[in-house]
Structure 1
Amino acid sequence: MGSAKGGPPMSILARDHTAGSPPLHPGTAGRVRSVLASSGPTIGTSVTIAVALWFSLAPSLLPRTSSTQGLVSGLVVVLALAVRAGIARMRAPRPARVSGETEVRYLAASVAAASVVIAGTGAHHWQNALREAMGQAQIGPRYWLDVFVTASIVAALLVFSARAVRTILRSRQGRRIAVTIGTACLATWFAAGSALLSPAPGAPDPTSLSPLPSAAGLAGSKDSLVGWDTLGREGQRFVSLASAGSAVRTYVGLESAPDVPERAALAVRELERAGGFDRAHLVLAVPTGSGWVDAHAVEGFEARWGSDVAIVAQQYSDAPSWMTFLTDRDAAAESARTLTSAVRAHVDGMPASHRPEVHVYGQSLGASGAAAAFPDAEPGSCDTVLSGPPAGMSLPGGTVLANSSDPVVWWQPSLLWSPPDLSHARVDAPVPPWLPVITFAQTTVDLLTSLDAAPGHGHRYGQDQAQCTP
């Protein structure tokens, strides 16, 4: 039907708004404007990503490889965005956009990007300062390119994995598959994981580092009361260390005797057989949770006292130190106290003029055992030598050696809300400022690489562990 003045029909006007263009639905233009307005990240997203990157780039105790820094940055960004998404779901619906919001979004994104560049510049200088203090090569622009690539890949993989899991769990069949996989993983861990951590009793260690030792003063030799195959990997490693003199090294493994008292009694008999009580100095080395005794400490004690020292160690666990610390942290103290009591009882029965001077040494978790075994040591003496003691540990007398860059010396739950006690630590590298929560998270990451530093930094200690005041 035409218009009153004979003009074209309204249907033609509706189609002829632009020559050669399809007609627009009345709501289409609004949707197009909405899409244009939503281009670019929201202000909240820009702020979230910037804060997450600041968090991940905060000063660390130890130098970071580009892959480690990229992994941390990517993980923190995804976690921050996930938290923001969760909060957004609990809030009221977002109000309608206002005029000029697109420009504000891009401005916020630009400011966020600039702030990340500033944070990255600070992180660059901090990483190079750590490297200079620890004798490592400096980083350059390539480092940050690798960080960006790694962080992007990590973030993309995490987002993809999360969406895939969510899609799977939405279906009943997917939930059944997830339960089946989870059950299979748990069953595999309980069936094989414990076997990996605790080798079968009496089974030869497949990672033996050397043939049977020939020196009579070493545990596991043909004359030894302790079988070579019962020493375990760390015990074999300990007795196989090179020596410039006639070393006396006694090691009693978990499989050498059935329980702690019998292991201590065996250690005393083995020391007596090897002539350990005839030396002027007797060092009781409390291993870490895995049974490891630091080779630098052994070298240091033998360099300090030469052929006048014997070293004995008694294993109390073969799990990683962190696992032993969480599940059975009293094992080190019990083992150290039992061995110390047995050794002291034997020494007390010797003529006063022939008694060796007894010292107790421990590093990391072993330090807590050493402190419990010899709580009455004089400050600064060589009665006890504690290297890298865990944070929060009550320190008795003796010699305490702790690096300010050692995350083991920093890490404890209270680090979330209070600064660490570094009064007993020597400053070996720039010390980062304490920041609530952030320092705890950064120190947790540093724990994973604490043994990668050179001796004298991180959780690595050198021969100076033996340089205590006699």
Structure 2
Amino acid sequence: MASLTPSLVPRGYIAQGLLSGVCFAMGYLLGVGLSGGWRLLQLPELGQGRLQQVLRWLPLVCLLGCAVLVWWVRPWQDAVRAVMGLAPMEQTYSLRLLLIALLTFAVLLAVGRAFVWVARRVGRAARRRVPGPVAGVLGISVAAVLFFFLANGLLLRGVLHLADASFRQADALIPPDQRAPTDALQTGGPGSWVSWEQMGRAGRDYASSGPSASEIAALMGRPALRPVRVYVGLPAADTAQARARLALRELQRQGGFQRGTLVVITPTGTGWVDPAAVDSLEVLLRGDVASVAVQYSYLSSPLSLLVEPEYGQESAQALFAEIYGYWRTLPEQQRPRLYVHGLSLGAMNSERSVNLFDMIDTPIHGALWSGPPFATRYWRQVTDSRVAGSPEWRPEFRDSRSVRFMNQEGSAVPAAAPWGRMRVVYLQYGSDAITFFRAQDAWREPEWMDAPRAPDVAPAVRWYPLVTMLQLALDMLLADRTPMGYGHVFAPAHYVLGWRAVLGLEDMDADTVTRLQQQLDARRRAQRDQTGGGG
């Protein structure tokens, strides 16, 4: 029943069925383990006479009870969908969910019985040479090692290899209507240090999209420049250091260091750079900005985060070292303002690329990190050290002069509050499991459930031991399928507020800010409708 309760994001019948089937199997395994332990200790059997007859029907009663409870799941899921402005679930949701859950349970039950069969066969063979209890332990150990290596060595590695090959092929695909630029001052164009084919799909989309100078001028009502966008894909060079040097050369070639602002971006796992973030930045600065990014993986961020959380750190550090190293050699009055940015896994790796001790004498101007994953080190330290009484989903840190947190409602700190020399903003949503998942949720209620709750977390969400942790793990995989402005899908309107704070544009007219938020949100929704979602 607990697996059917709502969590941070809506779950379709397939996702909910898989989760319920896994939880059902875990409950069954717990029951089998307790029963086996009871017999091993040679304790008296429970239930005699009429009670024993009742207990025989207990599994069927539990199964029927679960089937009845499945019909109650739609109101729970609709409570989450209502928060995000989604329509209620269809009538057939519960039946489909039940079928998926039973199928999942049957598959896991078959795997479990195969494990028992192997353990017993090994145990029987071992009894010829060792005592019975030792043979039993040996059989279980051999079966556990065998199944672990099968799952990790064959299944997991095979899935990752298949995913990597699939993403690699998709990354190399160039649609017929996407032609290389003819402008020499674009990455992939004539004279570029990086060819069009070497940029990857995400890089080509990033370099060829974005608002033009005329579009920015129309939005802002004032003359604008065409922004500089530099991107280096994985095929461009064999090492992270070599790709970083190419990015520096290309940035110099395009005149990026002559712009008023320069942003070093760490992309997500696939190399994707969120258009909502960059478009908002370029419009606010009227195009007087250059940005640079380097691809480090073909895998999606959730896969990279769960399997290889350290992946991408080397690339982020190499790019920042190259850009920052050259930037600090420029005369102070001729340097652009320097910022860093990253979304999701990009936020975590971008944070790792910035070593405060290396730039004490010449610090950068700030950072905007959106959707930081739960494993992000400095984010976790700051969140855990928050001012007493401030919620985990939007904490306040010390005097808020160096670090502030924002969500759909902006920051809890007044915009007029003074900043220090370097400005850091974390943009995060309370409904984003990629940010708020923790293994401790299995045995301890998460603090983001405390009152007051984030505006995008349904009041019906409750904590259940182990089950909540499994729900949030599944929510991480579904977090980028939510409507814009929820989960892990960040809206330009909220990026406008984040960049406004980081860039020090608090004096911008409020009506202008509201108009930009509405227009950029509409533009991004149209883009998502055309592409079918995010990156």
For residue 436 of structure 1, report the CA deviation from its aligned partner.
3.3
User: What pairs up with 1:242-281 in 2 under 5 angstroms?
Assistant: 242-245=210-213, 246-281=226-261
Counterpart of 1:429 in structure 2 is 457
Which piece of structure 1 moves more, 86-95 or 440-449?
A: 86-95
Preserved contact between residue 289 and residue 316 of structure 1 (Cα < 8 Å)? yes
Q: Residue 164 of structure 2 aligns with which residue?
A: 197
Deviation at 1:425, TM superposition (A): 9.6
Other-structure match for 2:444: 418
Per-residue CA shift, 1:124-149, capped at 9, x if unaligned?
A: 33311211111211125432222223
**Matched ranges for 1:45-444 at <5 A:** 54-92=1-39, 94=45, 97-99=48-50, 101-102=52-53, 121=72, 123-139=73-89, 141-159=91-109, 194=161, 197=164, 206-209=172-175, 210-245=178-213, 246-325=226-305, 328-374=308-354, 383-393=366-376, 394-395=378-379, 397=403, 398-420=424-446, 422=448, 427-430=455-458, 432-444=461-473
Counterpart residue type for residue 255 of structure 1: P
Number of matched pairs:
406
User: TM (normalized to structure 1)?
Assistant: 0.73
Gaps of 5+ in 2: 123-145, 214-225, 380-401, 404-423, 505-535
Unmatched segments (≥5 aa) in structure 1:
1-53, 173-178
Shift of 1:162: 5.5
**CA separation of 1:136/1:291 partners in 2, compared to 1, >3 Å: closer, same or farther?**
same
**Per-residue CA shift, 1:40-81, capped at 9, x if unaligned?**
xxxxxxxxxxxxxx2311331110112221222223223322
C-alpha contact (below 8 Å) 1:285/1:360 kept by paired residues:
yes
Alignment check: 8 A CA contact 2:266 2:342 kept:
yes
One-letter amino acid of the structure 2 residue matched with residue 151 of structure 1: A
Deviation at 1:328, TM superposition (A): 5.0
Distance of aligned partners of 1:406 and 1:100 in 2 relative to their CA distance in 1, 3 Å threshold: closer
Which residue identity is paired with 1:465? Y
Distance 1:426 1:218 in 2: 42
Contact 1:401 1:425 in 2 (8 A): no
- The 8 Å contact of residues 337 and 365 in structure 2, kept in 1 or not, is answered as no
* Counterpart residue identity of residue 317, structure 2: R
The Cα shift of 1:258 comes to 3.2
* d(CA) in 2 for partners of 1:200, 1:158: 29
Letter in 1 for 2:263: V
Inter-partner Cα distance in structure 2 for 1:351 and 1:425: 48
**Does the 8 Å contact 1:382/1:399 carry over to 2?**
no
Q: 1:75 to 1:274 in 2, by over 3 A?
A: same
Distance in 2 of aligned mates of 1:90 and 1:465: 55
> Does the residue aligned with 1:343 lie in a helix, a strand or coil?
helix
1:276 to 1:466, Cα distance in 2 relative to 1, 3 A: farther
Change in CA separation of 1:108 and 1:96 when aligned onto 2, cut-off 3 Å: closer
Alpha-carbon deviations, 1:12-59, whole Å to 9, x = none?
xxxxxxxxxxxxxxxxxxxxxxxxxxxxxxxxxxxxxxxxxx231133
Pair 1:420–1:262, CA change in 2 (3 A): farther
> Structure 1 residues 56, 185: closer, same or farther in 2, change over 3 A?
closer
The whole-number CA distance in structure 2 between the counterparts of 1:151 and 1:259 is: 45
Q: Deviation string for 1:332-385 (max 9, x for gaps)?
A: 44433332232233333334444221111111121122223346599xx97201
Q: Report the 3-state secondary structure (helix = DSSP H, G, I; strand = E; otherwise coil) of the residue aligned with 2:174.
A: coil
Decide whether aligned partners of structure 1 residues 268 and 190 sit closer, same or farther in structure 2, where only a CA change above 3 A counts: same
Matches of 2:251 and 2:209, distance apart in 1: 18
Identity of aligned residues (%): 29
SS in 1 for 2:181: coil
CA–CA distance in 2 between the matches of 1:215 and 1:241? 14
Name the residue aligned to 1:175. Answer: none
CA, structure 1 residues 339+426, in 2 after alignment: closer, same or farther (shift >3 Å)?
A: farther
Q: Distance in 1 between matches of 2:479 and 2:369?
A: 17
CA distance in 2, matches of 1:184, 1:100: 41
The answer (yes or no) to whether the contact 2:232–2:247 under 8 Å persists in 1 is yes
Letter in 1 for 2:186: L
Q: For the Cα contact (< 8 Å) 2:80–2:457, is it kept in 1?
A: yes
Assess if the C-alpha contact under 8 Å between 2:171 and 2:298 holds in 1: no
The 3 A distance-change label for structure 1 pair 370 and 222 is same
Instruction: Give, as a single letter, the amino acid of the residue that structure 1 aligns with 2:272.
Output: W
Are 1:465 and 2:495 counterparts? yes
